[in-house]
Homo-oligomer: A and B are copies of this chain.
Amino acid sequence: MATVRLLSDEDASAEALAVFEDIRATRGTDFINNFWRALAHDPQLLAATWARLKTVMAPGALDPLTKEMIYLAVSTANSCTYCIHSHTAAARAKGMSEAQYAELLGVIGMAMQTNGLVTAMQVPVDEEFRVE
Interface residues of A (CB under 8 A from B): 1-6, 31, 33-35, 38-39, 41-42, 45, 48-49, 52-53, 55-57, 60-62, 66-67, 69-86, 88-89, 97-100, 102-126, 128-132
Q: How far in angstroms is the closest Cβ of chain B from A70?
A: 5
Given A31-B128, A69-B70, A99-B61, A121 and B3 contact (CB-CB distance below 8 Å): yes
Are B60 and A99 in contact (CB-based, < 8 A)? Answer: yes
Copy number in the complex reads 6
Q: Which of B42, B48, B115, B131 makes the CB contact (< 8 A) with A2?
A: B131
- Asked whether B118 lies within 8 Å of A84 as measured between CB atoms, the reply is no
Contacts of A72 in B (CB 8 A): 120
Which of B52, B79, B108 is A110 in contact with, Cβ under 8 Å? B52
Complex partner residue of A84 from B39, B120, B131, CB under 8 angstroms:
B120
